[in-house]
Every structure is written in C-alpha cells, then in structure tokens.
Amino acid sequence: MRIIKIVILRIVSYLFLYLFFLPSSLLASSGTVLKIIDGDSLIVRDSSGARIEMRLYGIDSPEWNQKDAFLAKKYLSQSILRKRVSYTVYDYDRYGRAVVLVKRNGRIINEVLVQKGYSWFYPRYCRKKICASWKKLEKEARRKRWGLWKEKNPVSPWRWKHK
C-alpha cells in the first residue's frame, strides 16, 4: 500500500512539473480572427485583448502578385474571419509573427487549405508528424486539379519570390 502511494505521488509530481515547465507557446489558446492578410497570414485578438499577427504553420499560399493569390485568402475569410479559433504557437518568424496551427470546429485550417488546393504543403518548414499527411493531401488535390492545381504548372511561392 505504501509503495502505491509513493508511485502515485511521484506520478502526480512529475505531471505537475511537466505542466508547470511546459512552454506556454505549446499550449492551445483562443481568440477571434480580426483580419485575413493573405492566404497564410492573419490577425487574431486573443482572450486578453492583444492583437497577434500570425502565419499558418507548414503551408505557403500564393503571393499577392501571383496567379490565384485570392483563392486561399477568400477561403480563409469565408471560413474563419470574425470567428473564434483555437491556435497553437510553434515558433515566431523573422517578421515577429507567431507561426501557428489554427483550428475551427475541430478542423485544422492549415490542413484544409492544402486539402482543398489553396496552399502548398511547405516541406522546408513543415517538420512535425502531421506534415506527412499534408503532403499526401496536396498530392490528392493536385490529382483532382482543385484550387490552384487547375493550372497546369503553378509556381510555388518560394520559387516565385526568387524569380
């Protein structure tokens, strides 16, 4: 009986320490989407009232001056503008934007944009386990010629920037 109490106490202690020292950036937060900047960037007002500029993790949408740039922005606006979302911050980019995974009604918005053909899976920056399924979703969207894949050879934003 004494051993069981000790084991339970240790488990509870480790759990407390894990949660206490877990970076807050890896915990999900929520807020309301104030603005869609483009197909992979947005501004959210968090629960404390702060405005946070965000970039969607693991995907890249066409640049503003690139063909079909409006597709992802339009879909994102219709899906989440002025709505509550939850988000997990993975990092911050060189512009100070939070790099996030965004969810609405249980669906990962980053993933949906790839699935519907509005954004590329971004292999250079998408390193989490979830990215393997996004690569498959992009292949399927290409095969079905959805969204930007209606074009014969759309140029990825990372190549477009270096033209």
Distance of CA 119 to the CA centre of its chain: 11
- Comparing CA positions, the residue from 162, 163, 132, 160 lying closest to residue 39 is 160
For domain 24-160, give its CATH number from 2.60.40.10, 3.40.50.170, 2.40.50.90, 2.40.50.140.
Answer: 2.40.50.90
The per-residue DSSP string of 74-109 comes to: HHHHHHHTTSEEEEEEEEE-TTSPEEEEEEETTEEH
- Comparing CA positions, the residue from 95, 102, 97 lying closest to residue 119 is 102
Is residue 80 within 8 A of residue 74, CB to CB? The reply is no
Strands, DSSP E only, in the chain? 29-38, 41-46, 51-56, 59-60, 84-92, 98-104, 107-108, 120-121
Tokens of 39: 């197909």
Q: What is the pLDDT of residues 121-157, one digit of tens each?
A: 998 888 899 899 999 999 999 999 999 999 888 877 8
| Residue 6 pLDDT grade (very low, low, confident, very high; cuts 50, 70, 90) | low
- Comparing CA positions, the residue from 123, 30, 112 lying closest to residue 78 is 112
Q: Is the pLDDT of residue 28 over 50?
A: yes
Give the predicted TM-score (pTM) of the model. 0.81
Distance of CA 84 to the CA centre of its chain: 15
Q: Is the pLDDT of residue 24 over 80?
A: no
Domain ranges of the chain: 24-160
For the residues 67-88, what does the mean pLDDT come to?
Answer: 93
Q: Is the pLDDT of residue 159 over 60?
A: yes
**Strand bridging mode 107-108 / 120-121:** unpaired
